Structure 1
Amino acid sequence: MFLLQFGNPSNVKAQLIASSSNSIQANSYYTVQIYKNSIPELQSLISIDKDDELLKVVLKEIAQKTKLGIAYNSDLDVLNKKVSVKFDKTKASDILEYVLLGTEYEAAISNTREILLIKRQPVEDKKIVEIDISGVVKDAETGETLPAVSVFIKGTSIGTTSNSEGEFELTVPDNSEILAFRYVGNKELEIPITGNMRNLEVEMEPDVLIFEDVVVVGYGTQQRAEVTGSVSSIRTEVLENIPVSSFENALQGRLAGVNVVEPTGEPGASPEITIRGGGSITASNGPLYVIDGVPLSRNSDLQVDIQSQRGSFQAPKSNAFSSLNPNDIESIDVLKDAASAAIYGSRGAGGVILVTTKKGTPGINRVTVSMYGGASSVVNKPDMMNAEELIAYTKDARNNNYLQEIDRGNQPANPLYDPNTNAGRPNVGNFLIPEQYVNWNGTDTDWLDVVLSSSAQQNYHVSASGGTDKATYFLSAGYLDQDGIIDGSSFTRYNFRANVSYEITDKIKVGSVTNAALSNHDRLPANAPYYQQPPEIIY
């Protein structure tokens, strides 16, 4: 037996797979004659024009145009029968029945959506038992009918959709067990199939979890369905699976309209974040950070030691928020538009990032331990000139400068001119070859190989949380050690957090949030140029 599986018509490559004839089991198919109104592919309107063609070729074309596979025993004589067909926009089920007229075979569809050829049963032996199901689907709360609801037999390819009035009709085998209903924004509904199932009235309940998702806004929390501004969120489940040293890096590529750029990639460095682009030419375009309700600044201009150096030799800016362990964060909400961030005034002109840390849950005591390790290495390293190539390049440049001035008549020609030495050249800087290049001592240093190297990082985190109806607690400790790919750069952090709350009365609740961190940040000027004339050994 052979199986031919067709994919999307835009990719008409067919895949031929050998299969044994016993792979088709009893009751694993549905005849086209009975279920042609219940299987969507059989209701496809297709066109086919074949004259005196082999039956197997016609069947393959039908399968391809209906996006179905086809399985048959290649030894069947009927497949070599020649047929002539000409149909225009006709149901595939009708064409299948036509091409098999006068043969001892009929078409069927398997559970895996393949066209099969099965022997026709004698009329007197046929025991066709089927159930007709019909009804209407409504919203359980409003009573309105629901169009385009998917109605199908669970575990099979038999199904249909409700029309614009919410009505549906379906013919199913008598051994079908579960009728399922699926609609966006509503809970999936399953009902057992019994004898008479005509004129059903099915009510689907809204999936309230979709609309009750809580987001943090400037003045508290709201259900997502009630938020009119632009708010995006990241939950703890996402943060826990991202190996980053700062929560800001976790935003990269995960929220629409939030642009996170790593200027250097050095460990512990501060990323640049803009929300919906820049809004000012002279002022800062960075967002306002609010951690557990407290507005904080990440103004790097306060780092005086950086500003005292030349721009090209400044070390990367230190990240003030790297002391906050991402594993201690419950959620990050980004307020993007003016309406959402209005409560913060001009400070929120560049958007607002709200960070909520974890707290204990009453009645649920939990201890969590996590760790990870990793390595970093340089990719796309530029192909630099070696010392010999640099010397040759410099000689060519100085020779061209000198000869160009001779051609212009600005310098007299000198018969003592030597392209590899300074003999016969005037004492002009752009004409002279550096003496170390003329008498090169053979030193050749790969500066990128010296400066860059592979690095390792490791992170350990342990936390305990829980509480009662009156008091809750969350305690955590962590250790992060990250080396940079620039030799000598690294970031190390020890942190401890304690979130404790106690409800004195129904109206009075006290709490304490403590975050202690000790970090060591070895920063190097990653953007600084590394020069040496001539190329020498690094000491």
Structure 2
Amino acid sequence: MNKRNIMKQIGHRLLSLCIVGLLCVPVNIYALGHIKLSESKGIYTLQATQMSMRQIFNYVETNSKYIFAYDKNVNNRLEETVSISVKGKNTPQIVRELCQKTGLNYRISGHQIILSNRTAKTQQGNPSKSVKKVTGVITDATGEPLAGATIVMKGDNTKGTVSAIDGSFSLEVPEGAEIIVSYIGFDSQVLQVDKRTNFSITLNEDSNMLNELVVIGYGQVKKKDLTGSVTAINRDDINKGVQSTAQEALLGKMAGVNVVSASGAPGSASTIRIRSGASLSASNDPLIVIDGVPVDNSSIEGGGNILGGINPNDIETFTVLKDASATAIYGSRASNGVIVITTKKGTDSGVKLNYNGNVSVGTIAKRLDPLTADEFRAYVPTVTGVPSNVVFGKENTDWQDEIYRTAIGTEHNVSASGNLMKSAPYRVSLGYTTQQGIIKTNSYNRYTFDGSISPTFFDKHLSVNVNLKASAENDRKVDHSVVNNALRYDPTRPVKTGSSTASTDPGLGYYIWMNGTSPMAIQTDNPVAQLELQKICNKVNRTIGNATVSYQVHGLEDLRLNLNLGFDLLRSKYTKEVPDLAGTMYTSNMKDGTGLNYNGIQKKRNTLIDLYANYQHEFAGKHNFNAMAGYGWQHFWRKYNDTTLSPKGKELFSPTHFESEYYLLSLYGRLNYTYDDKYMVTATLRADASSRFAKDNRWGYFPSVALAWRLTEEKFLKDNRILSNLKLRLSYGLTGQQDILNDYPYMTTFTVSYPESSYLFGDKWYKTLRPNAYDNDIKWETTSTWNFGLDYGFLGNRIYGTLDFYTRRTKDLLNTINVISGTNFSSVLTTNIGEMENKGVEFSINAQPIRTEDFTWDMGFNYTWNTSKITKLNTIDSESNFVQTGAISGTGKYVQVFMVNKRPYTFYLAKQAYDKNGKPLAGKYIQEDGSVSTKETRCATNKSALPKAYIGFNTHFVYKNWYLGMNAHGAFGAYVYNYIKADQYLQSVYSDQGNFSNILPSTRDLGFDTQQLYTDYFLESADFLRMDNITLGYTFKNLWNAKSDLRLAFAVQNVFTITGYSGISPELSTGIDRDVYPSPRTFSISANLNF
């Protein structure tokens, strides 16, 4: 067979597909003529009358996943006209019948069907051998019969048949022949016909699942060859349900990955933790790599979302690297794990267009109800200390009704993909999202663009891949304190005063508390005035792009040279405008009654160069080597400016200017060796030099090694019908942390003071500069990780999953210690002093309990157990040496600590005393000796804000064109400090100035007269199980052709939560419930059109 001619024919076919897609639909309509084809799940009904073989093959090719290639001597045969009528058969079966009519041979290789003339031997058979009748039954791994399986004689496709509805078949072939048994979605089998003529054949599910390529650092590897702990989800999992942010795609989907939304506001960021993080004072965020570009994870002015500019509809796969074997290739930035995001690219097929849009309605899922106005009027006079002559307002205001609303959102995404000039796959997409928040005035808009083109040259030896992503986010924010203020504000007061001089009155017509003719100095803000008089906006523009060039060396095809040039540009503008006389300004540290016009502009630029080589070679059919070595350079630059003016343009504070940069230089390499598809070794080494450290500590070295053994490739398991995959993995390695406090921690630096520390000269306030303490010996945080895991699969991988055990130890943790105050004017110093231990178990299982032609049921479950313990924190470790964290209201008030032999974010509270009926005794606490006293003795509890275990569950049902999917997740073992309740007490309902504050019925019933902030009574279990999403959809197939379809779906997000927590939501990354924006319950209708 002429290989060059075959490749030429493939090229012609691809070009013809592109031209057909680009011209117009009428061409296809005209081509129908006397041919009709319909498809359902890969099963076709074909009717053709007096059509040439070439026309039929071209039409089948256009409407299926197969590409036809022709030997040079079959062209004349393709012009022969035939008539054919087949029903309920797949593409190979149709091709077999066509070949029987014309005497052609065919061979299937992947998605390529190669046609050739039949040789004389093939046509005549071998008369010297007797013909035998072969019978058998074909089933899947569960014993279910497979109807429609193809059975053909190897070397003669004219001798074949298909299995009946009970899986049985009968076929006559020469003695000694081989038969091939195949079925779509299953691995084929080749059987020898000798003395045995009756077969019981079990086909296993297509092993392509194990042959899937998984994206790892600087390359790809087959899933079956992975030696590290790596989890990937593809676009099929991502697209189930309505998701407006990229983080939502990870929620509950992977063991070891915990995603917590920081806020229910649209477009808000989420906290992502892989194996709970590895640091205390430095960053615990994972490294995020988008199409080969590691993005800057540092905070965005105004609280922007790091992944906010990535449209979930553009994502092809999420790959999470968890253990050191997988992450060490990223070295100093990988101690908290790595998330590799690959976006969708163009394909070799014709032009494809897609529209995906939805309309959503959001409502508050849960709210707390304080006393009504009537209840408030009746209760307040009974509180001790409240004067008997207090005067209430005449209104009945539900302040929560005043701030919450039904939120409307829409999303529109369009994309086009195809292939230019046969060798340049491309894809472009545009997205627009607009979403109201459930709190009035809050809104979010996002525009996204994603484009890629991947041309190849010189017979695909040279490939270029260009990616560009751009986004513009416009966010009208709200001050989250409005949530608590709506609970606290006097329900007997009106929203507005109705004054005719509102424009010149304090509060600008909104009700505020007055002391005579002057506003009260300390008061709860009118929540509606907060929303309508404060304008807080955040605009973020981001562009991420890269160009990669890969050259497969001519004459040395096993060697590939790669160059990656990338950038990440970000500009954000955060503004806050408050008019003069707004009530909210009377509680600030500024001059009473002045407004505010604040502008903060942040710019970031991250550029990178990666140059690396890959070499892959197989020796003697069993030894496979894959080596990679490279060099990397990155530059990070940040700049920040702000101004604080009055509404009339007067400078209230001197401007702030900040500019900083650092560099990262890297050398890295990796070696993968596989023997006989059974035994695998991976060794990795990366050396990073960071300008964030002094010269003597600048370089960090991060090695790893991993071993894997595929037991199912051994002879004693290879023929096992139950166990289809079993692989053991063991790895050890080091990773680092250089995302520390600032870019120059080893040098003398100065900090610009906060407005509260400004000095007044004349009529202008000036900020001050103070020197920071520094440590010129500061160095990397280093994390070592042991990981033992196994991958398993049963019944042809209809049941599969992973199990991992890991231990991580981080040394040289950054911690703040006490030092003698000197010229630095500081008595504390941040240095490498701490150590922490982290261990856990991860388990995942996926199954397909039912799989028939019309109905499938898939389900997945994952479980993670994790515990962390601080093992060293100071030069002298004791219970008195701890670090305060978990700040609440007021200076110096905190409820959490870092302490040796305790979990991070352990709560530090007094132990509440109770009476014999279980009622808490106000102001009474249990001491260390067990006695009860009024002394508020605080100590470290055994309760932390970090969950000990979390789970994820998903299940999907497909019946013909119907789809039903559900996703849930939960967390257990964490605790939440309910500050909303702790901040309320009976005497808070009335102040000496004469203003009122509302309380919850639970506060009234509790009976604490005075504030009890530090009692563990307000510490509650945060265990919960949440149904995140339910989606019901229907797909209309074959709208214009076999590749056009429309999917309509109805979805509910945040369906329900099962929890014992008394607040709005138990799922809080900080473990402190204060001013938290509630998550909405969202109902949406979506449409997805492909053509």
* 1:264/1:526 contact within 8 Å kept: no
- Distance change in 2, residues 1:486/1:203 (3 Å): closer
Q: SS of the residue aligned with 1:364? A: coil
Identity %: 33
Deviations 1:167-205 (A, max 9, x none): xxxxxxxx985339999x9648899xxxx9976475857
Per the alignment, residue 454 of structure 1 pairs with: 406
Corresponding residue number in structure 2 for 1:179:
168
* 1:286-365 equivalent positions in 2, closer than 5 A: 286-300=285-299, 302-303=300-301, 306=302, 317-365=303-351
Alignment of 1:63-212 (within 5 A): 150-151=142-143, 178-179=167-168, 187=187, 200=199, 202=201, 207-212=206-211
Distance 1:508 1:479 in 2: 35
Q: Once superposed, what is the RMSD of the aligned Cα atoms?
A: 3.5
User: Which has the larger displacement, 440-449 or 525-534?
Assistant: 525-534
Q: Is the 8 A contact 2:269 2:305 kept in 1?
A: yes
Q: Which residue of 1 aligns with 2:537?
A: none
Q: Which amino acid aligns with 1:248?
A: Q
User: Cα distance 1:182–1:390, how it changes in 2: closer, same or farther (>3 A)?
Assistant: farther
**1:444 equivalent in structure 2:** 396
Verify the 8 A CA contact 2:395 2:491 in the aligned structure 1: no
Contact 1:149–1:182 (Cα < 8 Å) also in 2 = no
Question: Quick check: 1:495 aligned with 2:448?
Answer: yes
* 2:473 corresponds to: 519
CA gap 1:241/1:201 in 2 versus in 1, 3 angstroms = closer
Q: 1:201 to 1:484 in 2, by over 3 A?
A: closer
The separation in 2 between residues aligned to 1:203 and 1:154, in whole angstroms, is: 9
Q: Please give the per-residue CA displacement for 1:469-501, whole angstroms capped at 9, x wherever unaligned.
A: 421211111111111111111111122221122
Tell me by how many angstroms 1:241 deviates. 3.2
Separation (CA, whole Å) in 1 of partners of 2:311 and 2:203: 43
Instruction: Provide the rounded CA distance (Å) in 1 between the counterparts of 2:142 and 2:271.
Output: 46
Letter in 1 for 2:324: A
Aligned length: 327
Call closer, same or farther: CA 1:325–1:442 in 2, change over 3 Å: same
CA–CA separation in structure 1 for the residues paired with 2:249 and 2:146:
39
Matched residue SS, 2:244: coil
Q: Tell me the TM-score normalised to structure 1 length.
A: 0.55
| Structure with bigger gyration radius | 1
Distance in 2, Cα, partners of 1:203 & 1:513: 45
Counterparts in 2 of 1:393 and 1:190: CA distance versus 1, 3 Å: farther
Does the C-alpha gap of structure 1 residues 204 and 182 become closer, same or farther in structure 2, counting only changes over 3 Å?
same
Q: Is the 8 A contact 2:145 2:167 kept in 1?
A: yes
2:141–2:204 Cα contact (<8 Å) kept: no
| Aligned amino acid, residue 328 of structure 1 | D
Which letter maps to 1:232? Answer: T
Q: Displacement, 1:504? A: 3.4
**Which amino acid in the other structure matches residue 250 of structure 2?**
L
Post-superposition Cα deviations, 1:140-160, rounded to whole Å, max 9, x if no partner, equal: xxxxxx9x96556568xxxxx
Q: Would you say 1:264 and 2:267 are equivalent positions?
A: no
Tell me the residue number matched to 1:389.
375
Q: Which amino acid aligns with 1:525?
A: D
How big is each residue's C-alpha offset from its partner over 1:389-442, in whole Å with a ceiling of 9 and x where there is no partner?
Answer: 2343333222xxxxxxxxxxxxxxxxxxxxxxxxxxxxxxxx24396xx22131
Flag structure 2 segments of 5+ consecutive residues without an equivalent. Answer: 1-133, 148-163, 170-180, 496-509, 511-1091
Take 1:190 and 1:508, find their aligned partners in 2: how far apart are those partners?
38
Q: Contact between 2:411 and 2:434, CA under 8 Å: does it hold in 1?
A: yes
Rate the CA distance shift 1:136–1:343 in 2: closer, same or farther, 3 A.
same
- Determine which structure has the larger helix proportion and give its number: 1
2:350 aligned partner, one-letter code: I
Q: Specify the code of the residue in structure 1 equivalent to 2:416.
A: A
Q: Distance in 2 between matches of 1:447 and 1:230?
A: 50
- Structure 1 residue corresponding to 2:416, chosen from 464, 471, 485: 464
Answer whether contact 1:230 1:337 (CA < 8 A) is retained. Answer: yes
In structure 2, distance between residues paired with 1:176 and 1:235: 34
2:371 counterpart SS class: coil
Residue 485 (str. 1) matches residue 472 (str. 2): no
1:532 aligns with 2:489: yes
- The answer to whether the Cα contact below 8 Å between 2:137 and 2:168 also exists between their aligned partners in 1 is no
Amino acid at match of 1:440: F
Give the C-alpha shift of residue 512 in structure 1.
Answer: 2.4
Alignment gaps of 5+ in structure 1: 1-132, 138-145, 156-174, 307-316, 399-430
Deviation of 1:455 (Å): 0.6
Cα pair distance change 1:434/1:265, threshold 3 Å: farther
- Alpha-carbon distance in 2 for matches of 1:283, 1:523: 28
Structure 1 SS opposite 2:382: helix
Q: Using the alignment, how far apart are the partners of 2:381 and 2:190 within structure 1?
A: 83
Q: Distance in 1 between matches of 2:462 and 2:419?
A: 17
Aligned counterparts of 1:200 and 1:432: Cα–Cα separation in 2: 92
Looking at structure 2, the residues matched to 498 and 434 of structure 1 have their Cα atoms a distance apart, in angstroms, of 71
* Higher percent of residues as strand: 2
1:275 aligns with 2:261: no
CA gap of 1:371–1:202, structure 2 versus 1, over 3 A, is closer
Q: 1:362-377 to 2 correspondence within 5 Å?
A: 362-377=348-363
For the Cα contact (< 8 Å) 2:424–2:453, is it kept in 1?
A: yes
By how many angstroms is 1:460 displaced?
0.6
1:474 maps to what in 2? Answer: 427
| d(CA) in 2 for partners of 1:250, 1:388 | 46
Paired with 1:149 and 1:239, the residues of 2 have a C-alpha distance of: 29
The normalised TM-score by structure 2 is 0.28
Distance 1:456 1:197, change over 3 A: farther
- From the superposition, tell whether residues 381 and 534 of structure 1 become closer, same or farther in structure 2 (CA, over 3 Å): closer
- Alpha-carbon distance in structure 2 between the residues aligned to 1:513 and 1:244: 23
Contact 1:134 1:197 in 2 (8 A): no
> Following the alignment from structure 1 to structure 2, what is the Cα–Cα distance between the partners of residues 190 and 361?
32
Question: What is the one-letter code of the residue matched to 1:441?
Answer: G
Cα 1:136–1:518 shift into 2, 3 Å: closer
Contact 1:178–1:190 (CA<8 Å) still a contact in 2?
Answer: no
Deviations along 1:431-467, one digit per CA (max 9) or x if unpaired, are 24396xx221312210111111111111111100011
- Secondary structure at 1:266's aligned position in 2? coil
Write the letter of the residue equivalent to 2:446: R
Aligned to 1:504: 457
Query: 1-side partners of 2:141 and 2:467: how far apart?
Result: 49
Q: Evaluate the alpha carbon distance shift between residue 265 and residue 434 of structure 1 in structure 2; reply closer, same or farther with a 3 A threshold.
A: farther
CA contact (8 A) 1:179 1:190 kept: no
For residues 49-85 of structure 1, give each alpha carbon's deviation from its aligned partner in whole angstroms, at most 9, with x where no partner exists: xxxxxxxxxxxxxxxxxxxxxxxxxxxxxxxxxxxxx
- Within 2, Cα distance between the matches of 1:229 and 1:257? 14
Which residue identity does 1:445 align to in structure 2?
Answer: T
**Alpha-carbon deviation of 1:354?**
0.6
Contact 1:232 1:334 in 2 (8 A): yes
Give structure 1 regions of 4+ aligned residues with deviation exceeding 6 angstroms: 133-137, 180-183, 188-191
One-letter code aligned to 2:336: G
